[in-house]
Structure 1
Amino acid sequence: MAHVEENGHGEEDDPPYTQDGTVDLKGRPVLRSKTGRWKACSFIVVYEVFERLAYQGIAANLVIYLTKELHQGTVKASNNVTNWSGTIWMTPILGAFVADAYLGRFWTFMFGSAIYLMGMILLTIVVSLPALRAPSCGNQSVREGNCPKASSLQVGMFYLALYIIAVANGGTKPNISTLGAEQFDEFEPKEKSQKLSFFNWWVFSVFFGFLISETVVVYIQDNVGWTLGYGIPTAGLGISILVFLVGVPFYRHKLPSGSPFTKMAKVILAAFRKWKVPLPNDPKELYELSLEEYTKSGINRIDHTPSLRFLDKAAVKSTITKTSWTLSPVTQVEETKQIVKLLPLLLATFIPSIISAQTHTLFIKQGTTLDRSMGPHFNIPPACLTVFVTISMLTSIVIYDRCFVPAIRRYTKNPRGITLLQRFGTGLILHVIISITACLAERKRLSVARENGVFGKNEVVPLTVFILLPQFALMGIADAFLEVAKQEFFYDQAPEGMKSLGTSFFTTSKGVGNFLSSILLTMVSDITKRHGHKGWILDSLNVSHLDYYYAFFAVLAFLNLLFFLFVAKFFVYNAEVKKSKNVDLALGTQQD
C-alpha cells in the first residue's frame, strides 16, 4: 500500500483540499494530507474482515445446521440457504437508495451495522437456549430418518434472526466498499493510481475473513458447539464496529445527491411523453444547466453521447409546460444512460452467481458423502471445503495484482493490465470449466458408490473428499477475475451521484443468482421426478444425478458467455470527467 507524498499547501499543482467533492461529517471541505487514502481505508478494511467472518460463519455451515439441527431435506435446506443468501444480496438496493437520497453512506452504514449486531446476538441466543433450540436427534433416529421436528417458535426465531441480519446487510454492504473507494481522490494522480488496486485488496480482505470462518469457526461449530461457533463471530463484529468508529476523523464523505431512481424516472417519463418530438441535429440545442450551477452543487457535468438516443428526447425543449418531469438536463439524461447500459451486463452475471451459490449448498452436501478423514483422529468438517475457494482466491489476487498486472501492462499500456470486461469475460470462461469439472467429479463419485453398493442417505462413499478440490479451487480463481471485475466495473461505470446504486448491482447479481438457484433446483427436482423417474436431486445424493444437473449448468454458462461476448462487443466505457477543469472554467467565467 503505497504512501502518497504531499506537497506544500496552496500550490497550484497540488491543492491542499480534495477536488472530488468529498467533505467531513459536518459538510466541510477536507484536507488531502490529513484524511483518506490507505490510512482511512485500513479501518474500513479491518471492519470488512470481521464482518465477512460473521457472515461466512453463518453461510458456510448453514446447510449443515438446517439438515442436522432442523432436520430438513436436501432440496428444502439448499433452497432455504439460497433464499436467505438472495435476500442478503438484494437488500443493498434499498440501502443504496437510502444512502444516495437521504442519509449518505456513513449514516446508512452505521444504522445497518447496529441492526446487524442485534441480529447476530439474537442468533447466538437462539442456538444457545434450550427452549429456542431445536431438539437433538440421536444416531439411531438419524439412520432411520425419524428425527423430531423443531417447533414453530424455534424455527421462527431462528429465521427471524437470519433475516434481521439480511435486512442489516442492505445498509452495510453497498456503502462500506463505496465509502472505501471514496477515500481516494480521482483528480490527484497518485491517489487515482492507488484506487486501481483498491478493489483487489478489498476482495482480498473479504476472503481473508472467509478463511478464518471456514477453518476456525466452522471447526468450532462442528466439534465444540453452535453457541461458541456463533458467539465468536458476534464478538468479532462488535469489535470491528468499534475499530471502524476509531477511523471516523480520517474519513472522506460525499453528500447525498438525491434519489437515483427518481432522477432516472424523470428522464424516462419525459422521453416517453415527447416520443413524437424530433431530436435536433445539433446536441447543443438540448437543454442543459450552466457550468456554474453544476460547480456550486458539486456535480460533474457530463457531455452528450450518441448512445441510447431515445432518452435524449427528455432534454428536448418543447411546448410542454416545463417541469422536472417534462424536461431533464443533458447531464441527468447521460447519468440515466450510464445506468441503463449496465443492465445487459448485469444480466450476464446471473448464471455465474447461480453456479457460485452451489459452493454453500450442493458442493458441501457432496462432501458429506465422501471420506473426509485426515489421519486416524481428524475429519474435515464439510463446510471447511469452502476454504479451498478462499485460499485459491487469495493466492490468485496476489499473483494477479503483483505479477500479472505489471507484466501485461507493458504490452497493453492499460493501468489495470487488461480491461475490466476482459477480466469479466475470463471469469465467465472459468465458470464453464467449473461446471464441467463438477460434472466429471460427480460422475466419478457415483461410479464408486455403485461399485461398492453405497446407496443409503447417510452412507459414506469410499472416495477421498479431495476429489472435489478442483471445483472449489477453480471457483476461487474465477472469483479473482469475475467478482473483483464485477465490483469494480459497476462502481467505476456508474455516474458520480449513483455510486451506491452501481455498487448494489454487484450485490443484486449475487441475490438474483441465489433466488434463481432456488427456483432452478425446485423445478429440476420436480420435473425430473415425473413419469415415474427417480429424479436428479434426492435427499440421498448417492442415488441422485447431480452430474446431469452440473452438465445443465455447463450449457447455461456457455450460452451466457456467448451473450456476454455479444453485449461486450458494443459496450462503450464512460469518458473520464475532469472536474478540476470544470472548476477552473467556471471561475474564469465568473471573473470575466
Structure 2
Amino acid sequence: MEMEAVESHGGAGRRTPKRDRGISWACVFILASNCFQFIAYFAVSTNLVNYLKDRLHQGSKAAANGVTNWMGTSAITPLVAAFLADAFLGRYWTIALFLVISVLAYVVLTVSAAAALESAAFYAGLYLLALGGALQPVLSSFGADQFDEEERGRQSSFFNWFYLSINVGSLVGGTVLVWVQSSVSWGLGYGIPALFSALAVAAFLAGTATYRRHQPPAGSPLTRVAQVVVAACRKCGVQVPEDASTLHECEDVGGMSAIQGSRRLAHTDQFRFLDKAASVEPSDDKSRPASAWRLCTVTQVEELKCVLRLLPVWASGIVFAAAYTQMTTTFVLQGDTLDPYVGGFRVPAAVLSVFDTLSVMLWVPLYDRLVVPLARRATGHDRGFTQLARMGVGLVVLTAAMLAAGALEVARRRVIARHDMYDTNTGAGGDGEYLPLSIFWQVPQYVVVGASEVFTFIGQMEFFYDQAPDAMRSLCSGLSMTSFALGNYVSSALVTVVARATARGGRDGWIPDDINRAHLDNFFWLLAMLCAGNFGVYLLIARWYTYKKTVD
C-alpha cells in the first residue's frame, strides 16, 4: 500500500518495484513485437532474389535490380512512418496502423506464392510490405519513451536489446524460414512470416496497458523548420541581441514549450543567423500573437539547430555503412575463392555472415553487462561512454575489420602465387597439390564487423533519439537509417570507380571478374584508409558538437 502511494504521488525520479516491473513488461512486449516483425521481414528479404528468378522467371539482372529497388524503397519509407508519428498520429497509433498494413502485405505475398499468381500481385504485396515494415525508428523511439530522464542508463540498455532483437529476427528468418522456402514450398515459406507478423501485432497490442509514456503528435516538423528559415530570412537585416534571454519564448509552463508535448530547449550560440527568427523587433505588435512565419520561439529555432548539428554525425555514418556493406559484396567474393568444405559439407561463402549476427548477439550482453559497468567506473558517466565516444569506438573497430580482410587477402594471394594457381576452373598447375586456405579464416573479420555494429549502429540509434527535439524523435531516428542506404550506394560507386581506374592499360585491376587475378587486398587497404580518415573527421565533428539542453 505504501509503495502504491509513492508511485501515484512521488516525483519522476522516485523509482518503485511496481514501476520497474511496469517498464520491464512494456519493454518485453515491444522487443517481442520487434523480433517477430524482423523474423518475418528477413524471411522475405534474404531469399527474395531466388523467388524472383524461380517463380517469376526473371533473369539474374532483372531479379537483382528488383531486390535493390525494393530495398531502396524500404530504406526511405521509415521517414513516412516517422513523419506521421511525430506530426499527426503519435507513435502508438502509427505502430499499430503500420503493423496491420504489414500483416496485410504478408497475406498478399502468401496468397500470391501459394496460388502462383502473376508478378503484379506479388509486387503489390512486396511494396505494401516496404511501407508496413518501416517501423524501426518509430518502435525504437516509442520504447525509449518509456524511460524518464533519470533512467538514461536503462534507456541505453534498451537500445542494446532492441538491436539484439533485430539480429535474432535475422538469424531465424534468414536461416530456418529460408530453408523452408527452398526445401518445402514457397507458400509455406511465406505463410509462416505472415503468422509472425500477426504475432507482432498481438504482442504490441498486448502491452498497451503497460505503456506509460506517449509522446503526443505536435504537427508537421517540416512546417516549423520552414517557419524558422522564412522568419530568419525576413529579418536578415536585424541585429541579434547579445542577451539571449530577450529572444522570444513562450511563457514557462512547467518547462514545456508551445510545441505540443515538447520541453523548452536552452539557447545555444551555434548558427547565430537563425536566432534572427526569434528576435523581437520594436515594430512587432505586442497586442496580438505574432505570425510564426515572422517570429518564432527559441525552442522552435533550437529544433532546427538540433537537426543541423546531427547532419555531420549522420554523414560520418555513410562511410561506415559503405565499409560495413562489404560483408555482402567483396567478403563474399573473397570467400568464393577459399576452401568451403568441412569434412564433406560445403559452406557457401554468403552463409558466413551468420558469424556477424552471432557476434552481435554475443557482444550486446557483453557490452551491457561488462563493458558499460567497467567504463562507468573509469569515466563516471552513467552510460559508461558518451554516445559520441561509443560511435567513435565502432569506427575504429570497423577499420580493424578492413585490415583483417586485407591481411587474409595477402595470405590468400601468396598461396596462389606459391602454386602458380591461376586456372581456377581445372585446379591444375603449380609445384604441387593446391591447398587453398579454409573459408573459416574469414570468421575473424565477420566477428569484428559485428563488434563495430554494437558500438556504432546502436550508439547511432541512441544518439539520434536522445539529441533530437522531443517532437522530432521518430523523424530524426528515421534520418539516421538513411545513412545506411546511402552507404550502400557509395559502396557500389566506389567499386565501379576503383575497378575502372585500376584496369586501365590492359591491366586486370583490383576487382576483375577473375578474383584470383584481383588485388582485393589493395581495395581493403583503401577502405581502411577511408575508415581512418572518416574517424579523423569524426573527431573534429565530436569536438565541435554541442549537446542538446532542455530548460528544466
State if a TM-score over 0.5 links the two structures: yes
How has the CA–CA distance of structure 1 residues 94 and 9 changed in structure 2, closer, same or farther, with 3 Å as cutoff? Answer: closer
Q: Distance in 2 between matches of 1:113 and 1:131?
A: 24
Is 1:97 the counterpart of 2:97 in the alignment?
A: no
How has the CA–CA distance of structure 1 residues 233 and 442 changed in structure 2, closer, same or farther, with 3 Å as cutoff? Answer: farther
Structure 1 equivalent of residue 74 of structure 2: 88
Is 1:412 the counterpart of 2:394 in the alignment?
A: no
Could you tell me whether the CA contact under 8 Å between 1:83 and 1:515 is conserved in 2? Answer: no
Which amino acid is the alignment partner of residue 426 of structure 1?
A: V
Mapping for residues 18-33 of structure 1, pairs under 5 Å = 33=19
Determine helix, strand or coil for the equivalent of 2:248.
coil
Q: Distance in 2 between matches of 1:418 and 1:210?
A: 28
Is 1:241 the counterpart of 2:204 in the alignment?
A: no
Q: Distance in 1 between matches of 2:123 and 2:521?
A: 31
Structure 1 equivalent of residue 431 of structure 2: none
Tell me by how many angstroms 1:192 deviates: 4.4
Tell me by how many angstroms 1:312 deviates: 0.6
Which amino acid is the alignment partner of residue 515 of structure 1?
A: Y
Structure 2 equivalent of residue 568 of structure 1: 542
Could you tell me whether the CA contact under 8 Å between 1:88 and 1:511 is conserved in 2? Answer: no
Of 556-565 and 528-537, the range deviating more from structure 2: 528-537
- Which one of 307, 311, 328 corresponds to residue 360 of structure 1? 328
How has the CA–CA distance of structure 1 residues 12 and 215 changed in structure 2, closer, same or farther, with 3 Å as cutoff? Answer: closer
Could you tell me whether the CA contact under 8 Å between 2:7 and 2:19 is conserved in 1? Answer: no
- Which one of 124, 133, 136 corresponds to residue 169 of structure 1? 133
Which amino acid is the alignment partner of residue 87 of structure 1?
A: T
How has the CA–CA distance of structure 1 residues 260 and 96 changed in structure 2, closer, same or farther, with 3 Å as cutoff? Answer: same
Q: Distance in 1 between matches of 2:306 and 2:316?
A: 17
Could you tell me whether the CA contact under 8 Å between 2:86 and 2:472 is conserved in 1? Answer: yes
Is 1:499 the counterpart of 2:473 in the alignment?
A: yes
Could you tell me whether the CA contact under 8 Å between 2:266 and 2:550 is conserved in 1? Answer: no
Q: How many residues align?
A: 532
Q: Distance in 2 between matches of 1:488 and 1:522?
A: 34
Gaps of 5+ in 2: 429-433
Tell me by how many angstroms 1:446 deviates: 4.7
Could you tell me whether the CA contact under 8 Å between 2:35 and 2:165 is conserved in 1? Answer: yes
Which amino acid is the alignment partner of residue 315 of structure 1?
A: A
Structure 1 equivalent of residue 393 of structure 2: 426
Structure 2 equivalent of residue 148 of structure 1: none
Of 108-117 and 482-491, the range deviating more from structure 2: 108-117
Structure 1 equivalent of residue 457 of structure 2: 483
Structure 2 equivalent of residue 208 of structure 1: 168
Structure 2 equivalent of residue 344 of structure 1: 312
Tell me by how many angstroms 1:392 deviates: 0.9
Q: Distance in 2 between matches of 1:59 and 1:441?
A: 30
How has the CA–CA distance of structure 1 residues 231 and 106 changed in structure 2, closer, same or farther, with 3 Å as cutoff? Answer: same
Gaps of 5+ in 1: 19-31, 133-153, 579-592
Is 1:464 the counterpart of 2:462 in the alignment?
A: no
Tell me by how many angstroms 1:91 deviates: 2.0
Could you tell me whether the CA contact under 8 Å between 2:250 and 2:257 is conserved in 1? Answer: no
Tell me by how many angstroms 1:393 deviates: 1.1
- Which one of 389, 400, 403 corresponds to residue 367 of structure 2? 400
Is 1:287 the counterpart of 2:285 in the alignment?
A: no
Q: Distance in 1 between matches of 2:53 and 2:415?
A: 24
1:55-104 deviation line (CA, Å, top 9, x unaligned): 3334444566678885526xx87776555434322221222111111111
Is 1:439 the counterpart of 2:413 in the alignment?
A: no
Which amino acid is the alignment partner of residue 494 of structure 1?
A: A
Could you tell me whether the CA contact under 8 Å between 1:370 and 1:461 is conserved in 2? Answer: no
Q: Distance in 2 between matches of 1:70 and 1:443?
A: 38
Identity of aligned residues (%): 37
1:105-160 deviation line (CA, Å, top 9, x unaligned): 1222233223323333444455555565xxxxxxxxxxxxxxxxxxxxx5x66655
How has the CA–CA distance of structure 1 residues 9 and 439 changed in structure 2, closer, same or farther, with 3 Å as cutoff? Answer: closer
- Which one of 33, 50, 53 corresponds to residue 36 of structure 2? 50
Q: Distance in 1 between matches of 2:141 and 2:551?
A: 19
Could you tell me whether the CA contact under 8 Å between 1:344 and 1:567 is conserved in 2? Answer: yes
Could you tell me whether the CA contact under 8 Å between 1:52 and 1:210 is conserved in 2? Answer: yes
Tell me by how many angstroms 1:428 deviates: 0.5
Mapping for residues 9-408 of structure 1, pairs under 5 Å = 10-13=8-11, 33=19, 37-62=23-48, 70-72=58-60, 83-125=69-111, 154=119, 161-170=125-134, 172-186=135-149, 189=150, 191-224=151-184, 226-251=186-211, 252-292=213-253, 294=256, 297-318=260-281, 319=283, 322-376=290-344, 378-408=345-375
Tell me by how many angstroms 1:246 deviates: 1.6
Q: Which has the higher contact order (CA 8 A, sep 6+)?
A: 1
Could you tell me whether the CA contact under 8 Å between 1:53 and 1:213 is conserved in 2? Answer: yes
Q: Distance in 1 between matches of 2:196 and 2:104?
A: 13
Q: Distance in 1 between matches of 2:520 and 2:141?
A: 39
Q: Distance in 2 between matches of 1:214 and 1:458?
A: 33
Could you tell me whether the CA contact under 8 Å between 1:10 and 1:16 is conserved in 2? Answer: no
Tell me by how many angstroms 1:348 deviates: 0.6
TM, length-normalised to structure 1: 0.80
- Which one of 455, 474, 477 corresponds to residue 424 of structure 2? 455
1:259-280 deviation line (CA, Å, top 9, x unaligned): 1121112112211221221111
1:407-445 deviation line (CA, Å, top 9, x unaligned): 221221100111111111000011211222222323444
Which amino acid is the alignment partner of residue 403 of structure 2?
A: I
Tell me by how many angstroms 1:567 deviates: 0.7
Q: Distance in 1 between matches of 2:153 and 2:528?
A: 37
Could you tell me whether the CA contact under 8 Å between 1:303 and 1:331 is conserved in 2? Answer: yes
Q: Distance in 2 between matches of 1:447 and 1:61?
A: 35
Which amino acid is the alignment partner of residue 90 of structure 1?
A: I
Q: Distance in 2 between matches of 1:457 and 1:249?
A: 66
Could you tell me whether the CA contact under 8 Å between 2:339 and 2:436 is conserved in 1? Answer: yes
How has the CA–CA distance of structure 1 residues 456 and 577 changed in structure 2, closer, same or farther, with 3 Å as cutoff? Answer: farther
Determine helix, strand or coil for the equivalent of 2:90.
helix
1:466-518 deviation line (CA, Å, top 9, x unaligned): 12111211110001100111000000111111111221122122122123233
How has the CA–CA distance of structure 1 residues 273 and 59 changed in structure 2, closer, same or farther, with 3 Å as cutoff? Answer: same
Determine helix, strand or coil for the equivalent of 1:575.
coil
Which amino acid is the alignment partner of residue 138 of structure 2?
A: N
Which amino acid is the alignment partner of residue 262 of structure 2?
A: I
Could you tell me whether the CA contact under 8 Å between 2:422 and 2:517 is conserved in 1? Answer: no
